[in-house]
Structure 1
């Protein structure tokens, strides 16, 4: 690899490379050498920006969590507009892209990564926990405007919906489920909790 060549945004370039590897080859193929080779940079670039490979992976997961947090804010703002079922279906299709499913696999696959992420997230599976919080926040907002029943147990509905959706999307080798399948899960899990 040539040295002395400036990289515009090395962290993002490395994250993008890691995501391509996850999508193509799965968590077991993710190594520091594989990432730097995929990114087209020297291995030292990764170690200049991260203390070690598990630090890199933890930051990759945190970057993905930040994306979920952004989606959560947008979803919550949609309360009262469109339909609850439509909003949830769109959110699940958005949040469960191939990379998110692969990142969940990575978190489950690497013990050291989970240990590092436990510093800020003491319970649950990182990324899945934030997805469930996104759904719970949205359902609470819809409850506040009267479109979700006052007695709906959003703390139970949200992780149930995320778990069921994850099972739909989890097979990396199969095509993503169609919108009707995702909507069917949404209807089954939250349909009886709607006020309208």
Structure 2
């Protein structure tokens, strides 16, 4: 692309290009050159907007984290409606879409990225941590609505759902698990906390 051509929403285009490379070729293929080639722009465009490639990747992860935070409100708004198991099944499937699973692998793969995320105040695997917070907020809302037992252990249930969900979705070489398999896992995890509905 000629250097004089203005690119609209550069960050968004670069993030989308990075996600396509990550999904298609895996974390080891994700380089600044691969991203800019995928975005059809000069390599200097990325470096004009980000200090270095790990800074770019940290912003990519933070963008995904903000998406999880945005979805928390809509999930909590569903409390008291539909089926708790179905609501959680949808939330787990949404949380562990292909891009999230690939991004978790990327965070594990790159020491520099983890260092940048720590600088931003995020530790561990931020997508899993924020996903756990989202599920915990929903479970808390359901406990307050009376559909979960008053003594339901949210601090155990939420990370158990996220951890088991990640294990179901973690194999990037196979098709994602069927909805029935995710629903079976969710039902098994929360069965002891659900109150019978009249």
TM-score between the two structures when normalised by the length of structure 2: 0.96
Corresponding residue number in structure 2 for 1:12: 12
Corresponding residue number in structure 1 for 2:195: 195
Corresponding residue number in structure 2 for 1:108: 108
Q: Distance in 1 between matches of 2:120 and 2:162?
A: 21
3-state secondary structure, aligned to 1:152: coil
Q: Distance in 2 between matches of 1:29 and 1:162?
A: 27
Deviation at 1:119, TM superposition (A): 2.9
Q: In terms of mean alpha carbon deviation, does 140-149 or 115-124 score higher? A: 115-124
Task: Indicate conservation of the 8 Å contact 2:117/2:123, yes or no.
Answer: no
Say whether residues 1:44 and 2:54 are aligned partners: no
Unaligned runs of 5+ in 1: none
Query: Mapping of 1:52-67 within 5 angstroms?
Result: 52-67=52-67
Q: Distance in 1 between matches of 2:168 and 2:57?
A: 25
Please provide the CA RMSD for this pair: 1.0
Query: Mapping of 1:120-139 within 5 angstroms?
Result: 120-139=120-139
Q: Distance in 2 between matches of 1:33 and 1:93?
A: 32
3-state secondary structure, aligned to 2:2: coil
Q: Distance in 2 between matches of 1:92 and 1:98?
A: 12
Corresponding residue number in structure 2 for 1:78: 78
Q: Distance in 2 between matches of 1:131 and 1:119?
A: 20
- The 4+ residue runs of structure 1 with deviation greater than 2 A are 119-124
3-state secondary structure, aligned to 1:118: helix
Q: Distance in 2 between matches of 1:179 and 1:153?
A: 25
TM-score between the two structures when normalised by the length of structure 1: 0.97
Deviation at 1:116, TM superposition (A): 1.3
Corresponding residue number in structure 1 for 2:176: 176
Unaligned runs of 5+ in 2: none
3-state secondary structure, aligned to 2:192: helix
Aligned length: 196
Deviation at 1:16, TM superposition (A): 0.2
Corresponding residue number in structure 2 for 1:119: 119
